Amino acid sequence: MSPHAVSLVVLVLLILFGLYRRMRRTIGFQPLRDRRMVTRSVLLGAVGVLLLVSGIAYPVSYLYDAVGIACGGVLTYYAIRTTTFEQRGGQWYYRPHPWIGAILLVLFVGRIAYRLYVGYAAMETPGAAIQPSSPAASNAALSSYAHDPLAAAVLFAIVTYYAAYATWLIRAERSGRLNQPNAPSK
């Protein structure tokens, strides 16, 4: 097996493992872990801010960022309205809406598949690939989404959803609303 084929197999296996973990988290009750939710919110917020700052050279990208943030907000609102809670042995569990998780998973996988296809097509075209040591390669990772409006919208929808939903779960648990008879569930 060639080194290229081995790296491709490893990449595919890592992606499949990530998809398995993501699907497991979108179906069924999940333990409400405060520290994990705080970490997720902070990291995703930092990623969002970093991407917004990196798009300053392309002001039109903020339109697509706003569309993604709005879509993520709508998904978060719907997820909040449909989340159910359950207490087992003193530990709170929540069940996110499975269709919202599926939508985000399809968006995520679709973007990965598209990027792999574009990368593969660029490798097939002689002279089209960016050399790893070039200055353009260091900026390509952060600013590539600014040139692709769909990537920006999908990325910000995912970041907004996960950061806002985790923040809402933390606030619901800390405020004690989960113990009330009219807890935020449906």
pLDDT at 182 over 50: no
Amino acid at position 83, single letter: T
Do 26 and 98 meet the contact criterion of CB atoms below 8 Å apart?
yes
- Look at residues 165, 124, 168, 115 and name the one whose alpha carbon lies nearest to residue 145: 115
- The tokens describing 181, both together, are 């008879």
Specify the 3-state DSSP secondary structure of 108: helix
pLDDT at 138 over 70: no
Higher-confidence residue of 141 and 28: namely: 28
Least confident of 38-47, 99-108, 172-181: 172-181
Instruction: State the average pLDDT over residues 105-127.
Output: 74
What's the pLDDT score for residue 114?
Answer: 77
What's the pLDDT score for residue 56?
Answer: 81
What's the pLDDT score for residue 149?
Answer: 77
Specify the 3-state DSSP secondary structure of 94: strand
Higher-confidence residue of 40 and 72: namely: 72
